């Protein structure tokens, strides 16, 4: 498996996929960037062999992005050769972003390997959401995506909306696609004890979890916090923003301009254990992503994680979020910050409504979106692709998300 945008330890989806394959009898090697300079070049995580490389410096412009892609691609290619010599492999799975590993997949296909495209993001739509335009780079991203679809023996989509793109825009035959949602395992991701210190002396805790880029709406959330505090005159909530991204510095400056420092905590990147500590204490989880084609089509991991921890959701009104959360969320038209602040306030003041939404969200994870069912579909795809003699083996329920 190839991952470029995040170290394996922080990637719940890929770690879950690794565990599912290992439980089904496969050996797994992951190539990814290092978490830090002290991380060894090779180590074991959840039973998978991890070969990591130093990530290039943070990028800020087109040329630096191109350099990052080239450096990561070359380091990944080198480690894929080392893997082939050390333990060998039958399938190369590339997890986007970016959509640049189709060429590596093609080169290994010439050596008899299979290539799986695990599409985490719609890169052309991400570009449009971030920059508000299309143009030449958007067309380049469409070409890279199309090349990846063309080379792939199988395409793994995180929801039916992405699968629709693969079939219609990518011209991938439906039988070569599989839907595998990035769902939590309800046996492992469950609400734990409350840590009152996380509320910073206030009665309630509201959490945001996820990436902090221009397309993620965290700036809107800060505007909503300012409206909650300054216009609604409320001081009963502390707001925790868990995650990182290239907008983080701008968001910290915005927080100062809005005068909400004492009401907010930015944690930076957190692992699954720390995430569980915050969400076990949270009273509300927020999904502020603004409406655009990318966000309408994307399943937000944070929303599913809120639901798994029994946290009611306040979200921008997005199609895929409505499909997943249903009545476990309150929906804000267009993600308007003032309306979001008022919705949060109304939910804070209605504990019975919060309890009802929390129960609905947890039940939807257990009955509709539990990871063990997704793992079965994922492993079945691999059995079909490899004609594995272990074709009857699937990961047992609850055994694919442990050890976090």
- Give CA torsion, residues 284, 289, 293, 299, to 10 deg: -40
Per-residue pLDDT of the chain (404 residues; tens, 9 = 90+): 999 989 999 899 999 999 999 999 999 999 999 998 899 999 999 999 999 999 887 666 677 778 888 999 999 999 999 999 999 999 999 999 999 999 999 999 999 999 999 999 999 999 998 888 899 999 999 999 999 999 999 999 999 999 999 999 999 999 999 999 999 999 989 999 999 999 999 999 999 999 999 889 999 999 999 999 999 999 999 999 999 998 999 999 999 999 999 999 999 988 889 999 999 999 999 999 999 999 999 999 999 999 999 999 999 999 999 999 999 999 999 999 999 999 999 999 999 999 999 999 999 999 999 999 999 999 999 999 998 654 445 454 444 443 32
CA dist 404 and 401 (Å) reads: 7
- Which of 203, 225, 255 shows the shortest CA–CA distance to 337? 225
Threshold 0.85, pTM exceeds? yes
What domains lie within the chain, and their CATH numbers? 2-183+370-386 (3.40.50.2000), 196-366 (3.40.50.2000)
What is the SS3 string spanning the chain? Answer: CEECCCCHHHCHHHHHHHHHHHHCCCCCEEEEECCCCCCCCEEEECCEEEEEECCCCCCCCHHHHHHHHHHHHHHHHHHHHHHHHHCCCCEEEEECCCCCCHHHHHHHHCCCCEEEEECCCCHHHHHHHHHCCCHHHHHHHHHHHHHHHHHCCEEEECCHHHHHHHHHCCCCCHHHEEECCCCCCCCCCCCCCCCHHHHCCCCEEEEEECCCCCCCCHHHHHHHHHHHHHHCCCCCEEEEEECCCCCHHHHHHHHHHHCCHHHEEEEECCCHHHHHHHHHHCCEEEECCCCCHHHHHCCCHHHHHHHHCCCCEEEECCHHHHHHHHHHEEEEHHHCHHHHHHHHHHHHCCHHHHHHHHHHHHHHHHHCCCHHHHHHHHHHHHHHHHCCCCCCCCCCCCCCCCCC
């Amino acid at each position: 498996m190839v991952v470029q945008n995040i170290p394996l330890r922080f990637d719940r989806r890929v770690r879950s996929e690794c565990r599912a394959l290992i439980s089904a009898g496969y050996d797994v090697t992951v190539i990814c960037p290092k978490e830090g300079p002290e991380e060894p070049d090779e180590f074991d995580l959840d039973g998978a062999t991890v070969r990591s490389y130093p990530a290039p410096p943070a990028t800020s412009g087109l040329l630096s992005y191109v350099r990052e892609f080239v450096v990561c691609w070359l380091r990944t290619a080198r480690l894929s050769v080392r893997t082939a010599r050390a333990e060998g492999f039958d399938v190369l799975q590339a997890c986007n972003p970016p959509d640049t590993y189709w060429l590596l997949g093609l080169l290994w296909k010439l050596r008899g390997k299979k290539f799986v495209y695990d599409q985490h993001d719609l890169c052309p739509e991400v570009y449009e959401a971030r920059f508000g335009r299309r143009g030449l780079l958007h067309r380049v991203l469409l070409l890279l995506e199309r090349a990846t679809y063309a080379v792939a023996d199988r395409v793994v989509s995180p929801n039916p909306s992405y699968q629709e793109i693969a079939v219609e825009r990518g011209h991938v035959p439906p039988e070569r696609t599989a839907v595998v949602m990035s769902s939590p395992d309800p046996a492992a991701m469950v609400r734990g004890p409350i840590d009152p210190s996380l509320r910073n002396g206030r009665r309630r805790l509201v959490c945001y979890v996820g990436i902090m880029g221009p397309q993620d709406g965290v700036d809107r959330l800060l505007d909503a916090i300012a409206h909650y505090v300054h216009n609604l005159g409320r001081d009963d909530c502390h707001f925790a923003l868990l995650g990182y991204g290239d907008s983080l510095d701008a968001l910290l400056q915005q927080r100062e301009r809005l005068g909400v420092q004492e009401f907010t905590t930015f944690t930076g990147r957190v692992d699954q254990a720390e995430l569980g500590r915050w969400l076990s204490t949270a009273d509300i989880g927020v999904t502020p992503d603004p409406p655009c084609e990318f966000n309408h089509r994307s399943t937000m991991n944070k929303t599913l994680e809120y639901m798994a921890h029994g946290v009611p959701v306040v979200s921008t009104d997005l199609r895929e979020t409505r499909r997943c959360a249903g009545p476990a969320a309150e929906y804000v038209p267009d993600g308007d910050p003032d309306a979001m602040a008022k919705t949060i306030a109304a939910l804070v003041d209605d504990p019975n409504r919060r309890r009802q939404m929390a129960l609905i969200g947890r039940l939807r994870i257990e009955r509709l979106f539990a990871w063990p069912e997704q793992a079965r579909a994922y492993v079945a795809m691999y059995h079909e692709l490899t004609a594995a003699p272990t074709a009857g083996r699937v990961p047992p329920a609850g055994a694919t998300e442990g050890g976090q």
